[in-house]
Each structure stands twice: as C-alpha cells, then as structure tokens.
Chain A
Amino acid sequence: MAAINYRSIDVADIELRLLVEAIYLRFHYDFRGYAAASLKRRLGTALIRFGCETLSQLQHRLLHEPAIFPALLDYLTVQVSEMFRDPSYYKALRDEVVPLLRTYPSLKVWVAGCSAGEEVYSLAVLLREEGLLDRTLIYATDINTDALRRAESGVYDLDDLANFTRNHQRSGARSSLSDHYTAAYGRAVFDKSLKKHIVFSDHSLATDSVFAEVHLVSCRNVLIYFDRALQDRALGLFSGALCRKGFLGLGSKESMRFSKHRDDFVDFVPADKIFQRKGDA
C-alpha cells in the first residue's frame, strides 16, 4: 500500500515537470519556477475542466490541440483580485509614498502581474485623487494576453463594486469611486481618462528583462506563486527597474527575507510591505 503511494507521488511529480517543460517548449511560457503546491492545485482544477485523468493526458491534448492553451493559461495565471485589496497598503502609499512621488516632474509606475487590472485601476484612481495622474505613466504587465485585454477593457461586475467601494473608502479616498466609472447593464466601466495613462503590455518576470526606469513598482501576491529562485529573479528586475530611492510594494504576506536582493532595499512602511530602493546602485 505504502509502496504504491510512493510510486504514485513520484509519477505525479514527473508528470508535473514534464507538463511544465512541454508548455515551455511549445508555448514559451515558463512555469518551471512556480511554487509546486499552488500549481498542482490549479492543474487539478484544470484536469476536471478538460476532462483529463492525469497530467500526462493533459500534456498530450495540449501538444496536439494547442488551441486549448489559452484556456489552460487562465487556470494557471489568473488571480481574481479586488480593487484596493488591503486598504491600509493604499493608505500607506497615499500618506507616505505620494509626498515623495510629488517631487518628481514625471512619474512611471510598474504594476507587475496585473492580471485583470484591479490593482492598476486602484493605483490610477489614487494617483488621480492625489493630483499626480496627469504626469504619470503606468505600465501594467502580465504574461496572460487575454487577461491583459480584459484589464485594458476596465470592465468589472457591478456586484463587485460594493466591496471595491468599501475598500476604496478605507484607503483614505478623496473622491467617490463611482466618479471614475460608468455603470450600465450590470457592469462598471472605468474611465478612458484613467486608461490613457496606462500601457498594458505582455511581460514575463520569468523570462523577460527590465524595460524602463520607474519610480514605483507594485507587485502584490504574485511572488507567493513563485519558488525562491524565481522570486529572486523578479526582485532583481524590480531592483534594476527602480530609480534611486524608488519604491516597491509587495503583498501583505510577502517578504524579501530569503532574497539576495534584500540589501538593495530598506524598509519604508514595513507593516504594509513597502520598501525603498537604496540610493546607490
């Protein structure tokens, strides 16, 4: 009995590695550095959706019916988030970081792993409230181009807006969230005037490099899906992209403790996981 269990764990792990390798070779998406536990769980859900018993079967289908890949990618990459998730993070940006951002004549912000865009629009609304949006360009990046398209549309279910609005109020809002979207047919569409300050772009923290110098990187609850090596790579990109004294915001349960880039940063608002890039490179 135990022997069979051991064999089955080995097989499942082999299948996972092969599938991830197949995805990399065939579709050039690199999940090899993703944390195994969540990846397995998501693939387990995908197996049911695709009617496959094993990851080997899924791999076979994927290689021979590449058209199913975008649907699989959604299972692997999309986080359903909310606007102003952890209001205290946005409050800390507003109270502690914005006063320093104000000193720059123009601003660049990178939202890495933006998924469906909730964090991007949260920041855009916040920057507008603080009078900074007109001089800001936000880069919103993700590996999932379908998710990027959805993010770009800025359309959310009106049912979710009550929660978004509550979070927004708790972030020290200076306006009503409804000032920034139009509601119709059960949906909320965020304003074009926000979108014209946002560039949505395909970028992988696993395989791509730094593309711009920015003053603020916000990357929340993305690193928890990476293993330590990939976390390190991503933090290296953030360190490389940030200007001297630029800011990095992570998710409330994320840390840099294990990273070799820890020394590139100092704590800025530790409770909200906001770090500042050190002055010298």
Chain B
Amino acid sequence: MSTRGDKASMRDYASLQGSISAVVFGASAGGIEALSMLLAALPAELPAAVMGVLHLPRDRPSLLVEIFAPMCALPVQEAQDKEHIKPGHVYFAPADYHLLVDTGPSLALSIDEPVNFSRPSIDVLFESAADIYRERLLGIVLTGASQDGAAGLAAIHRLGGRTVVQDPASALVPLMPESARRRSPVDFVLPLEQIADLLQALKHGGAT
C-alpha cells in the first residue's frame, strides 16, 4: 500500500494545506476509472486550480468534460487558449493539443510535435506548470502504459513542488506510475483512496 504509515501521511497532507496553488495530473490507460474516483473526491472549496492530461485518441473530440463534469463538485472545462487560470476549476487538455501553463498564470495550447508519442503530453503540462508555480505545485501521475509524466514529475520535484504517484500495485496499468517513481524522488506513493484524502486536505480548513 502506501509507503508511509497512514498517520504520518495525514500529518504530511496537512502540511500541504495553503501551500498549493495548482494541481496537475496525468493519466493514460485506466485513467477514466481513476479520475472518476479522484474528481468525485475534489472538495467544492478547493483553493487550487486543477489541470490534467488524459491520453486520448487524436482524431476525435474529447468527451472528458461531459464524462466528468456531472461527478465533480468543481466546474470542469476543456482548456481554452489564453484563458486565465482560476482556482477551484478543473481544466482538461483538448484532444490533439498540448496544454501548457504560461505566465499570468494562463493556459496555453500548442500543436508542437508529440512528446512520448503523445499529444497532449503529461510532461509538457508538468514542466511548464513547474516553471510557473514552482513550489506551489502538486503533480500526480496515475495509471498508464506509458512513460509520459516521469520527466515532468522530476521537473516539479526539482523546482520545489510536491509529487504524488499512484501506488503501482493499485494502478490498473502500473508502467506510468512506476516509471515516474524510478525517475526521481516522490513525496507520496499512494493508492487512489488516499490520493483522494490528500486532495481533500488541500481545502481551507484541511482534513478533519
């Protein structure tokens, strides 16, 4: 299960409260299931913006907003280019575009070449977000059959942000969280239920 005792984790989660302005996540194979759980767990009073990449087929419009909006207490939107990033909103990368965080902070899109065979790429989102948010960023790598996200999570760690990897043993497809964990030190390796607890702890007032 988790690499830390539950009590220790709870205390660590509390240390995140008030110190995180943005949460970025990346998921690939198995991601719809994982995100169904995590997005449903997001508290309505979350003071951080949430941005995510889920690997998708390139040639179809994304239905992620339709899928996730009804189960999430926060507004869920497809990222629009140049949009100012608002706390308490969830933004998904559109199909076949990279999503980046730019100065502002605002959202930016690009059609630059795929990275790790992926567009959108988790690394592109994570690295650009780390550049802007620095130590106020929390990155989460979830289930997937890819190595995307590993370099991005390493960048978040390098710039002082906090990092979470889904416990590979609990992931539908462990390759992506495993690759991320191997690449750089990770603050939390947790099963989904505890990642949900951690996200709960980010809200004002924190975990109970």
Contacts and interface: CB of A to CB of B under 8 A. Distances in A.
Given A253-B94, A255-B81, A37 B108 contact: yes
A43 B151 CA distance: 17
Nearest to B134: A5
Contacts of A38: 100, 108, 110, 112
A241 to B, nearest CB: 22
A40 interface: yes
B20 interface: no
Nearest to A228: B82
A231 interface: yes
Interface in B78-131: 80-82, 94, 97, 100-103, 108-113, 124, 127-128, 131
A225 interface: yes
A209 interface: no
Interface in A222-281: 223-225, 228, 231, 251-255, 257-258
Contacts of A254: 81
Given A253-B81, A253-B94, A35 B134 contact: no
A41 B109 CA distance: 12
Nearest to A38: B110
Size class of B's contact patch?
A: 20 to 34
B94 to A, nearest CB: 5
B185 interface: no
Contacts of B94: 252-253
Could you say which of A2, A5, A36, A255 has the most chain B C-beta atoms within 10 Å of its C-beta? A36
A80 interface: yes
B109 A224 contact: yes
B160 interface: yes
B71 interface: no
Contacts of B131: 9, 37, 40
Contacts of B80: 253, 255, 257
Contacts, number: 65
Could you say which of A224, A225, A231, A254 has the most chain B C-beta atoms within 10 Å of its C-beta? A224
Contact of A41 (B82, B111, B127, B134): B127
A258 B82 contact: yes
B197 interface: no
A67 interface: no
B32 interface: no
Contact of B109 (A6, A40, A228, A253): A253
B135 interface: yes
Contact of B128 (A41, A79, A228, A251): A41
Nearest to B103: A36
B159 A5 contact: yes
A35 B98 CA distance: 14
A9 B135 CA distance: 12
Contacts of B108: 35, 37-38, 224
A22 B113 CA distance: 26
Contacts of A258: 82
A134 B132 CA distance: 51
Contacts of B113: 80
Given A252-B94, A253-B80, A255-B81, 11 more contacts: A2-B134, A5-B135, A36-B103, A37-B108, A37-B128, A41-B100, A41-B127, A41-B128, A42-B112, A223-B81, A253-B81
Q: Closest 8 A-B residue pairs measured CB to CB? A: A37-B102, A37-B100, A38-B110, A37-B128, A37-B108, A224-B109, A221-B111, A224-B81
19 contacts: A1-B160, A5-B135, A6-B134, A35-B102, A35-B108, A36-B102, A36-B103, A37-B100, A37-B102, A38-B100, A40-B131, A42-B112, A79-B112, A224-B97, A224-B109, A252-B94, A253-B97, A253-B109, A255-B81
